[in-house]
Amino acid sequence: MPQDVFISYRSEDKSWADRLCETLERQNITCWMAPRDVTPAREWAEAIVDAIQHCKAFVLVLSSNSLQARQISREAELADRQGLPIFTFRVENVDPPPGLMYFLGNLQWVDAFGGKFDAAAACLVEVLGKTSGTATRTPLPAPVPLPPIPVATQGGLPLRNILIGVVAAAILALGAWLIPNRKPVPAPPQPNPTAGAKVEVEKYLNALKASNYKEAWDQFNATGRAAESEEKRVNTWKEADRNFGPIESYRFKRCTEDGPSGIVTCLFQLDYRDGATTEGKYVVARDGAGDWGISESKHAEPKKAK
């Protein structure tokens, strides 16, 4: 179901996000939050993208915990692509990291730290109530009006009319010179999302082939969203090595981009030394700095060929 507001936050700031969500919903402003609104058995990344695409505004709870939050940068990028109004709800006096500043630097900030939570929330409620679905950018200052030109006469014509005619002629002459001499600016080359995502998955798979578990974990948990601990995941890899031998090779079945969201799903097969195989599915996402990371993963149990 479409909601009014998507609330983005770090898990360390969940108490702030819960409080803000409760305040907004008391004012009949519906909110979407993870993990509360991620339905069972649905992939996390898919739920995030769908929620942002169907919300009317994006609110980021910003604190010092946000400085290393790659997933927040991804969510802000998705919201910006959707043209959502973005609001920064600061619960600490910190600036966003560079990856976030690109999306938040010129948007509305509301400061809730220093005992100002209630006032900040009330301000946000008021602004959200006026949101019509277009991004709320900081308005440019109104142009300063020029002083009126005194009306004087020159040969029977007002001097102001003469000046206006001279300026108009100059503009037309400049336009006539610029239009034929203007060189088209070539569009920048567009990166191939599937190629970038595939490279990221290959780094992870090559680390597994070399039994470099530390590097494999760093790639696997690049987004900080792994559903299990490093110890548990490494033990799973080691057990697979003991039971089936090291990974001999891998091959991609396909990598497909999930619309214009900056998310790619890669399907691949692993071949172990003793002939066992397993299939995997990785969802790879890109943050505001353009870096890729694995955000969701699924593995089938390795099986030997019959």
Could you give the 3-state DSSP secondary structure of residue 224?
coil
Share of the chain above pLDDT 90, in %: 16
DSSP 303: E
Residue 145's identity, in one-letter code, is P
- pLDDT given at position 172: 56
* Neighbouring-strand partners of residue 95: none
Quick one: tokens of 263?
């998310």
Task: Say if residues 194 and 264 touch (Cβ distance below 8 Å).
Answer: yes
- Radius of gyration, alpha carbons of the chain: 27
Q: Among residues 296, 266, 264, 292, which one has the least CA distance to residue 279?
A: 266
Task: Say if residues 6 and 51 touch (Cβ distance below 8 Å).
Answer: yes
Task: Say if residues 284 and 201 touch (Cβ distance below 8 Å).
Answer: yes
Q: What is the pLDDT of residues 26-63, one digit of tens each?
A: 999 999 998 888 887 778 888 899 999 999 999 999 89
Where are the chain's structural domains?
5-130, 193-304
Residue 225's identity, in one-letter code, is R
Quick one: tokens of 120?
């900040």
Decide if 5-130 and 193-304 have a common fold: no
Quick one: tokens of 296?
């969701």
DSSP 71: H
Query: What would the DSSP string read from start to end of 26-49?
Result: HTT--EE-TTTT--TT--HHHHHH
Quick one: tokens of 268?
């691949």
- pLDDT given at position 217: 80
- pLDDT given at position 38: 87
Query: What would the DSSP string read from start to end of 232-298?
Result: HHHHHHHHHHHHH-SEEEEEEEEEEE-GGGSEEEEEEEEEETTSEEEEEEEEEEE-TTS-EEEEEEE
Q: To which H or E segment does residue 60 belong?
A: strand 57-62
The whole-angstrom separation of Cα 284 and Cα 103 is 21
The whole-angstrom separation of Cα 237 and Cα 231 is 10
Query: What would the DSSP string read from start to end of 128-181?
Result: HHH--SS--BPPPPPPPPPPPPP--EETTEEHHHHHHHHHHHHHHHHHHHHHHH
Helix, strand, coil content of the chain in percent (nearest 5): 45, 25, 35
Please identify every stretch of the chain with a pLDDT value under 50, giving residue numbers as ranges.
Answer: 132-147, 149-154, 177-190, 288-289
The arrangement of secondary structure in 5-130, i.e. its CATH architecture, is: 3-Layer(aba) Sandwich (3.40)
Q: What is the pLDDT of residues 146-163, one digit of tens each?
A: 445 444 444 555 555 655
- pLDDT given at position 270: 83
Q: What is the pLDDT of residues 275-292, one digit of tens each?
A: 788 887 888 776 544 566
Quick one: tokens of 124?
């946000």
DSSP 84: -
- Topology of domain 193-304, per CATH? Nuclear Transport Factor 2; Chain: A, (3.10.450)
